[in-house]
Structure 1
Amino acid sequence: MNNLQRRNFLKLAATSALIPATGLPAFAFKNKAADKKTVADFRGDGLNHSPAEYANLLARLTETGSIMPDNYSIGGCVEELEIKFAKLLGKETAVFMPTGTLANHLAIRSLSGNNKRVIVQQESHVYNDTGDGTQVLSNLNLIPVGTNKASFTVEEVDSVVKKSESGRVAAKVGVISIESPVRRKQGEVFEYEQMKQIAAYAKANDIKMHLDGARIFLATPYTGVTVTEYASLFDTVYVSLYKYFNAASGAILAGPKSIIAPMYQNRRMFGSGLNQAWPFTAVANYYLDGFAERFVKAVAVSEDLIKKLSANSRFEIHRIASGTNIFRLTVKGMEAKTFVENLKSKNVIARAGGPTPNDLILQVNESLLHSSAAELESIFVKSLS
């Protein structure tokens, strides 16, 4: 976290108490991370509920009778969540999707119209992890840019656009899709100034913009850019419901009614009109309320922990310049797999990973609200022996 990011974080931390948590059942006004039994779980962006924990949470949420069922993913608490996300993202409307892969696909498919060329990051999920689904199922031509980088530049976009239009058969770029933060780049964010320049270029050239914002709510404490500010640059935005809002599955796609309204039919056409989606959206709705406030506090705990561990000669912290909630910890004099087992015996869950056998990849999430930085430091130090 650089100096500018640190100032942004402190500003957010100071104002986070002003963020309201509304519409929650009585039991929800406690630390939501307390739904977990571990001291901290560094393995993901969310809380990694077990089946028993998830079922227990659903039972608690439904016992008040306030959870209204949906009908084929329409209405009830599904619609409630759609309305809430549309407001948070500053969009006209939103629709539930069972997966982020489908949300990205249908957004790009709809935005492209007859202009089938789509600019994407080479490191993006939509380019690498969907089995060429947009190409095979929707005849889209993905053009990757930004080799081995989280960001690409407006100059790279202009080069692709001009080359496409200057061929023997002119082809117009229809969509620019941007993922941020980028998971394949360890949570690095797309450079915001370039994002704004690309959005302005797209508007001037009648090119639509889509944000794969699966993890966009994780970026704000590190960048100082609000979710609404990010979303304002794009026609459509996808947000994951399972990564840190802890639903068993699901996604939200937000945008203008002209794009989103037909999605109910398109979703069904792709075999994804789930008979009932309330077990996903009820949990996501529960964790969405107050998430911004809680995550700022979790980041504060992590920053204090990182500072404390950095002062210990047995630990070395590695962070990327434009990173978010992922960092690497090197344990000197002990293999990571042994250290992980020692942590586990003290109810801290982590995973080994990285370029050496001594490395752990740690992800900041709201499970850190179980404890303090001092308590976690003590556990980490005791796990050295």
Structure 2
Amino acid sequence: MNHLRRRNFLKLSSAFSLAPVFAANAFTTENPPVDVPPATVNFVSDGLVLNAAAYSQLLADITKKKNLTADYYSQNGCVEELETKMANLLGKEAAVFMPTGTLANHLAIRTQAGKNSRVILQHESHVYNDTGDSTQILSNLNLVPLGLDKATFTVEEVSEVLKRTAGGRVASKVGVISIESPVRRKNGQLFDYEQMQQISALARTNNIKMHLDGARLLLASAYTGISPAAYASLFDTVYVSLYKYFNAASGAILAGPKELIAPMYHERRMFGGGLHQVWPFAAVALHYLDGFADRYAKAVNIAEDLIKNLEAHGAFKIERITNGTNIFKLTVKGIAPKTFAENLKKNGITARPNESNGFNLLVNESLLSSNASTLAQAFVNSLK
């Protein structure tokens, strides 16, 4: 798998200790839940989404093994422990828990924009498409979308916006550039790293703040060999999801400079996000954060070997996402996708047909419960 820099990523993973993986149910983000029996391999999620029974049991196990301290209105206790670990991982001075990624992105952009209300971001980003115009309605920000139907916009496009803004008859400056990577609406495609670096340099020259919607940032690191801290160094603030692959029931982390992050709990509460207790989220996220890089590297290796096995069989066609991460497309010959999915389920695998009569298969830790040859045989057996 020449697109994955194995040795670089293994260096990244050495900072983590190995932790056990618990059986889980899973579903694709932004889609209705899929019925996934416990202890099966799923290709429908970035991570393990625990059902109520599994989550409760895991939480009970964690509390027995660790002397957890509960938080108070999302502060202190194991929440603070999680914030500290995530800040260190991302190379930032401080981090704060947020109940959702939507709020994390919003408050990061709002706080840094100040009176410079124009915000450059991707046309395909979550902030632009999936938040109900919240930044415009609640924070009076003017979103300037670039890169229609692309994961990446270019430094030249940014320069053109800055030039046009400077030439306006009424002063209205760009306050923030927000970048999402990987991009969910582009099937996990990455924002071009060279362009990211150039845009960051241009922003700093023009005193414009940079925000990274890095919900799936650690997945990006797995496929590029670029550490989370290296990515985050190009940005003033960065958000990372706690539920997508750290398997918390909900939650997000927003990291950045201490002077910005330390008082952020006031903004969080103003927006209704000062939850009384979130330790059940933080405890599970901490559990899966420990050792994640090592485990996920192994899952990626299993997936790569599985892809090779499937490509060698005439009934399967694999399509890679250009500059992608943990999603690959599968087309199956000679059987209806719905029937194939039902057969896979009988063989202990959950997959969801897409709109193109194929499958988008997502790589996650559930693959660790099997191996490439066993999975490949299950795919072949499901053809009939």
TM range (shorter): over 0.9
Spell out, residue by residue over 1:121-170, the C-alpha distance to the aligned partner (whole angstroms, 9 max, x if none).
00000000000000000000000001110001000001011111211112
Give matches, 1:80-91, under 5 Å: 80-91=81-92
Distance in 2 of aligned mates of 1:10 and 1:302: 17
Structure 1 letter corresponding to 2:359: L
Residue 9 of structure 2 is aligned with which of 12, 35, 51?
Answer: 12
Shift of 1:65: 4.9
Q: Give the partner amino acid of 2:229.
A: T
Structure 2 residue runs without a partner (length 5+):
26-37
Distance 1:306 1:33 in 2: 25
Q: Which residue of 2 aligns with 1:25?
A: none
SS of corresponding position for 1:47: coil
* Larger displacement relative to structure 2 (344-353 or 192-201): 344-353
1:133 maps to 134
Correspondence for 2:103: 102
CA distance in structure 2 between the aligned counterparts of 1:145 and 1:329, rounded to whole angstroms: 30
Q: Hey, what's the Cα distance between the residues in 2 that align with 1:17 and 1:205?
A: 35
| Partner Cα separation in structure 2 for residue 52 and residue 80 of structure 1 | 26
User: Contact 1:38–1:349 at 8 Å: present in 2 too?
Assistant: no
CA deviation vs aligned residue, 1:299-355 (integer Å, no higher than 9, x gap): 000000001000000000011220000111001011111111111111111111142
Q: Which moved more, 1:63-72 or 1:232-241?
A: 63-72
Q: CA deviation at 1:10?
A: 4.4
Tell me which amino acid in the other structure corresponds to 2:160: S
Q: Which residue of 2 aligns with 1:24?
A: none
The Cα shift of 1:221 comes to 2.0
Q: Deviations over 1:63-116 (max 9, x none)?
A: 235111000000000000000000000000000000000000000000101100
Aligned Cα root-mean-square deviation (Å): 1.4
Please give the TM-score of this superposition, normalised by the length of structure 2: 0.94
Describe the shift of the 1:332–1:33 C-alpha distance in structure 2 as closer, same or farther (beyond 3 A). farther
Report what 1:344 is aligned to.
345
Runs of 4+ in 1 over 4 A off after TM superposition: 33-36
Q: Please give the secondary structure, in 2, of the residue aligned with 1:82.
A: helix
Give 2:293's aligned residue: 292
Deviation at 1:171, TM superposition (A): 1.3
- Does the Cα contact within 8 Å between 1:120 and 1:127 map onto a contact in 2? yes
Counterpart Cα distance in 1 of 2:19 and 2:48 = 17
2:230 corresponds in structure 1 to 229
Question: Does residue 121 of structure 1 match 2:122?
Answer: yes
> Residue 368 of structure 1 aligns to which amino acid in structure 2?
L
| SS at structure 2 position matched to 1:43 | coil
In structure 1, the residue matched to 2:281 is 280
One-letter identity of the residue aligned with 1:138: S
* CA deviations over 1:163-217 (Å, ceiling 9, x no partner): 1121111211000000000000000000000000000000000000000000000
Separation in structure 2 between the aligned mates of residue 374 and residue 39 of structure 1, nearest angstrom: 16
Cα contact 1:39–1:367 (8 A) shared by 2: yes
Q: Which residue of 1 aligns with 2:167?
A: 166
Structure 1 stretches lacking a partner, 5+ long: 22-27
Identity of aligned residues (%): 61
Cα distance in 1 for residues equivalent to 2:65 and 2:367: 28
Give the conservation status (yes or no) of the 8 Å contact 1:16–1:296: no
- Counterpart CA distance in 1 for 2:373 and 2:355 is 25
Equivalent in the alignment of 1:301: 302
Q: Decide whether aligned partners of structure 1 residues 236 and 29 sit closer, same or farther in structure 2, where only a CA change above 3 A counts.
A: closer
CA contact (8 A) 1:219 1:324 kept: yes
- Residue identity in the other structure for 1:220: S
Where do residues 208-357 of structure 1 align in structure 2 (5 Å cutoff)?
208-355=209-356, 357=357
Q: Which amino acid aligns with 2:214?
A: G
- Correspondence list, 1:1-80, <5 A: 3=2, 5-6=3-4, 8-13=5-10, 15=11, 18-21=14-17, 29-30=19-20, 32-34=21-23, 37-80=38-81
CA distance in 2, matches of 1:129, 1:190: 19
Instruction: Name the CA distance, whole Å, in 1 between partners of 2:24 and 2:332.
Output: 30
Q: CA deviation at 1:16?
A: 6.4
Instruction: With the length of structure 1 as denominator, give the TM-score of the two structures.
Output: 0.94
- Give the letter aligned to residue 50 of structure 2: H
User: How many positions carry a matched residue from both structures?
Assistant: 372
| Secondary structure, counterpart of 1:352 in structure 2 | coil
Q: Distance in 2 between matches of 1:80 and 1:10?
A: 30
Q: Secondary structure of the residue that 2:65 maps to in structure 1? A: coil
> Kindly tell me: are residues 178 and 379 of structure 1, through their superposed partners in 2, closer, same or farther at Cα, counting changes over 3 Å?
same
CA contact (8 A) 2:182 2:325 kept: yes
Give the equivalent residue in structure 1 for 2:113: 112
Q: CA deviation at 1:20?
A: 3.5
Counterpart Cα distance in 1 of 2:178 and 2:166: 19
